[in-house]
Structure 1
Amino acid sequence: MQRRFYRILLSGWLLTSSITAMAQQKKHPDRPNIIFILADDLGYGNLTSFNPKSPIPTPNIDRLGAEGIRFTRFYAGNTVCAPSRCALLTGKNMGHAYIRGNTRLPLRPQDSTMAQVLQQNGYTTGMFGKWGLGEMGTTGSPEIKGFDEFYGYLNQGHAHDYYTNYLYQVKAGKIRKIPHDTSVFTHDEIMDHAYSFINENKDKPFFLYLSITIPHAELAPPQKDLQAWLNPDGSSKLGPETPYAQNGGTYRSQQYPHAAFAAMVSKLDQHVGQIQALVKQLGLDDNTYIFFTSDNGPHKEGGADPGYFNSNGPLKGLKRDLYEGGIRVPLLVRAPGHIPAGSVSDEEWAFWDILPTFSALTKSKTLKGIDGLNYAAALEGKKPVKAHDYLYWQFNEGYIQEAVLQGDWKLIRFKYKGKVERFELYNIVDDIGETKDLAAENPAKVKTLKAIMAKAKTPAENKEFDWSDTEK
């Protein structure tokens, strides 16, 4: 029913509807709508505006930057999903965030989110897709953390199944588990709820957090989407394919993993285009910011082949790395009434800056005790009033990694159990691919960045995220 309604919606809105929407929007020009689209495991090189050699065209996503601004040095909160989302929503980096690893630990009562900040300023808030910061009945459930509406997955493990028999929904302040048709690709259902949310809230300020689940594995798009990447004889348009076999893992088998991945990125691009079309049709263009980015670098799970697609572009590393390929992500922002078209910026900022930036854009309160800074000026191609002296990350999945970025220089620490720690130093401006370790040649710079690394963090409050140097 919802999909049929949306097709009717896109076929043409009555002129009076658009006029009404524009009139309503003009009543709150100081509280623009915000749509934040977060792709899952999309690499820096998976967009043609960042990597012209990408074999998958992404014209709709690229248009966000062509009609707005494209940031080439923007960073995720972490190199995996849960902590990256924690940094995004709470404004804290991995030296201070509560959730510092890929876990099902919920946010605590004292962990405020950007949704709560905007909700308190009169915004209607909706979140659709993958949450990852608390299960139903915990202190981190989405209805407790500022969302008026929600539809999707509560944890990242469940989100691996695109044909699940249940999802979760928040309505009227209540969350419930609801049945889902296992023949329907969940991403399509999630997008239908997002379209409905925009339409239903067009006459008042709204915040839409669209935490899309693709192109994360499993690589199982609907057959009609896969078919677009297959030849009439059933072979892949991307050449000979090596099938992916499940082998007891969580991801189902896929005969054409290259074609399946391409189909998922194409579907993502199409739906971003539909979001733009809907905003325009409702007359909301001049008072709506649309952000697009990814939660971390590209994955190689379930048959995904980032090498074939050049998914990290010129960068080194993938998801679970603190090299640039694991944490540097594309960011495109479109807001015709606020951002000059065709801008490109190399301003360095990160997920934890989004919350205070949204506070500034919407004239909402600013949370205290966070790591993020207001980068609203950067959206107009200007220098922020205050910029970071450095950016910091940490990741622990089998071994400890830490990274500090200060200007052109980046230091990465590796500590494996039973082995001496190792440091690597790169000039990421001269060497964007981090091909030459300069640590031995620059001991003074290593010493400086090691000191920053030491002061950038506090002990983790939960023992799951023990970043100490003691052997375990």
Structure 2
Amino acid sequence: MKNAFKIIVFAVLVGSYATSHAQTKRKPNIIFILADDLGYGNVQSFNSNSKIPTPNLDKLAGEGTKFTRFYSGNTVCAPSRCALMTGYTMGHAWVRGNAKGKDGLGALRAQDTTLAQRLQNNGYKTGMFGKWGLGDEESKGAPHLKGFNSFYGYLDQSHAHDYYTNHLYEIVGGKTVEIPTDTTKYTEDLIVNKAVDFINANKDQPFFLYMPLTVPHAELKVPDALLKKFQNADGSSKFPPETPWEKKGNYDSQAQPHAAFAAMVNKLDADVGTIVELIKKLGLDNDTYIFFTSDNGPHKEGGADPVYFNSAGPFRGVKRDLYEGGIRVPLIVRAPGKVPAGKSEASPWAFWDILPTFGELTGTATPKNIDGLSFFPLLSGKKPVKEHEYLYWQFNESGLKEALTKGDWKLIRFKETGSPEKLELYNLKSDIGEKNDIAANNAATVKELYALMKKAKTPAENPRFDWSEVEK
């Protein structure tokens, strides 16, 4: 009898140990929150002169590591997200600019494998809630074909300008389909609620949650209750003077664009707080990495005023520029007990590095031919095995623009059809605002970086982004 009792106790202890051991071996959850057109200078922990309070983001930075020289994939929406999803720079990516249409040239192809697909194949439940931008429901780039078990939100950037729409898209029955929405509901609320549902439904297994939120992208519109937080008792704006925006193109009228923009940033901050608090409430803090960043620099559309809000911080330029203000974005990574708290990391990394970083973080295979490198060791206070020799961007609206950084040096190239090229050189260590073009006095450095710029790109496979005519 005693022996039987001992066997039972032993079995219970072994089972308890096995359960505990399995729990410690659980793959970590990843939450990647992507703001839309949020400037580096719009987050107070990155810019103490910011006029808009961001308490939840500041707390996230205090509990994690902030990267002060992190770059977006591009200076506009779709190509930046392509770099994030595929690990390629604009010198090699399929989607190198904003494009839409039934020809599918603005969508990912069947052979373009995303980080979500790789995580999904490694046992992760994957969900995306917000703006996709890399393929409509009929294309090969539709969310259900690109690694997502769940999706709810917008498929393209034009539709995402409307915060009170009559339809969004969702994965239903394994396919991405259009669904009706209540036009009195603010879509940011609908999207965040779906993300909360996803976390609750998948709390007992490893999950990847991608939240490409739409705020504070134009149009500048928020519910009255949120706007009132940034109005005085008489209804006037707390951010005078206001210049009303009259309805134009995709963007509706806004009498108080300063107050509306502040409310949108504040809404974003509150939504980040909602997600963090839910993770804590569910006891998932020790199993979850939270990443927060923005898809590119601040916009000046629909009445937005990046100069007033110092949205680019100390940097020159905004969205659609390849100066630092257009591509340098805040990155915060939080994982209690794993990522150093209160640390500031100044080494240069970019969107194309996220895929291999997630690969190393989760034990997911990473393809060898991508441009990205893993910075996962930095998240535990170590030095990466390999760092970039240089970083490269390419953009074409109103002519071709290219930029390349190597260390503190930065070369920017401008080329319009039928016109000579223009080269600008800056030293980011001594001139973070890119105010002094020193190309004329540093011919050898210009030559070196120009050669790397040619090395960093191949002709675009996608005919929509064939810019060879510009070079003539």
TM-score bracket, shorter-length normalisation: over 0.9
Tell me how far apart the structure 2 counterparts of residues 90 and 24 of structure 1 sit (CA, whole Å). 35
Contact 1:24 1:204 in 2 (8 A): no
Distance 1:385 1:131, change over 3 A: same
Give CA-to-partner distance per residue, 1:342-399, whole Å, 9 cap, x none: 1110011100000000010001111232111111012223321100000000000111
Q: Could you say which residue in structure 1 is the equivalent of 2:462?
A: 462
Distance 1:440 1:25, change over 3 A: farther
Residue 45 (1) aligns with residue 41 (2): yes
Contact 2:416 2:471 in 1 (8 A): no
Counterpart among 87, 93, 110 of residue 91 in structure 1:
87
Tell me how far apart the structure 2 counterparts of residues 398 and 73 of structure 1 sit (CA, whole Å). 27
Tell me how far apart the structure 1 counterparts of residues 300 and 213 of structure 2 sit (CA, whole Å). 18
Distance 1:43 1:419, change over 3 A: same
Residue 131 (1) aligns with residue 132 (2): yes
**1:316 is aligned with what amino acid?**
R
CA offset at residue 172 of structure 1?
Answer: 4.0
**2:383 is aligned with what amino acid?**
K
CA offset at residue 467 of structure 1?
Answer: 2.9
Contact 1:343 1:381 in 2 (8 A): no
Q: Could you say which residue in structure 1 is the equivalent of 2:418?
A: 418
Contact 1:93 1:392 in 2 (8 A): yes
Q: Could you say which residue in structure 1 is the equivalent of 2:402?
A: 402
**1:142 is aligned with what amino acid?**
P
Contact 1:60 1:272 in 2 (8 A): yes
CA offset at residue 471 of structure 1?
Answer: 5.9
CA offset at residue 285 of structure 1?
Answer: 0.3
Q: Could you say which residue in structure 1 is the equivalent of 2:223?
A: 222
Tell me how far apart the structure 2 counterparts of residues 334 and 354 of structure 1 sit (CA, whole Å). 15
Contact 1:65 1:333 in 2 (8 A): yes
CA offset at residue 317 of structure 1?
Answer: 0.4
**2:437 is aligned with what amino acid?**
D
**2:92 is aligned with what amino acid?**
H
Distance 1:152 1:212, change over 3 A: same
CA offset at residue 29 of structure 1?
Answer: 3.4
Distance 1:172 1:24, change over 3 A: farther
Residue 60 (1) aligns with residue 56 (2): yes
- Residue correspondence of structure 1 range 184-333 to structure 2 within 5 A: 184-246=185-247, 248-333=248-333
**Runs of at least 5 residues in structure 1 that lack an aligned partner in the other structure:** 1-22
Tell me how far apart the structure 1 counterparts of residues 20 and 48 of structure 2 sit (CA, whole Å). 40
**2:46 is aligned with what amino acid?**
F
Secondary structure at the aligned position of 1:331 is classed as strand
Contact 2:399 2:470 in 1 (8 A): no
Contact 1:24 1:203 in 2 (8 A): no
Tell me how far apart the structure 2 counterparts of residues 362 and 167 of structure 1 sit (CA, whole Å). 31
CA offset at residue 469 of structure 1?
Answer: 5.5
CA offset at residue 174 of structure 1?
Answer: 2.0
Most deviating of 302-311 and 373-382: 373-382
Tell me how far apart the structure 2 counterparts of residues 469 and 431 of structure 1 sit (CA, whole Å). 34
Distance 1:26 1:68, change over 3 A: farther
Larger Rg: 2
Tell me how far apart the structure 1 counterparts of residues 159 and 365 of structure 2 sit (CA, whole Å). 34
Distance 1:415 1:347, change over 3 A: same
**Runs of at least 5 residues in structure 2 that lack an aligned partner in the other structure:** 1-18, 101-105
Secondary structure at the aligned position of 2:440 is classed as coil
- Residue correspondence of structure 1 range 293-442 to structure 2 within 5 A: 293-442=293-442
Q: Could you say which residue in structure 2 is the equivalent of 1:6?
A: none
Contact 2:168 2:181 in 1 (8 A): yes
Give CA-to-partner distance per residue, 1:268-305, whole Å, 9 cap, x none: 00110111100000000011000000000000000000
CA offset at residue 468 of structure 1?
Answer: 2.2
Identity of aligned residues (%): 64
Contact 2:293 2:331 in 1 (8 A): yes
Counterpart among 100, 104, 111 of residue 96 in structure 2:
100
Counterpart among 65, 69, 73 of residue 69 in structure 1:
65
Contact 1:148 1:172 in 2 (8 A): no
Secondary structure at the aligned position of 2:23 is classed as coil
**1:145 is aligned with what amino acid?**
K
Secondary structure at the aligned position of 1:308 is classed as coil
Contact 1:148 1:171 in 2 (8 A): no
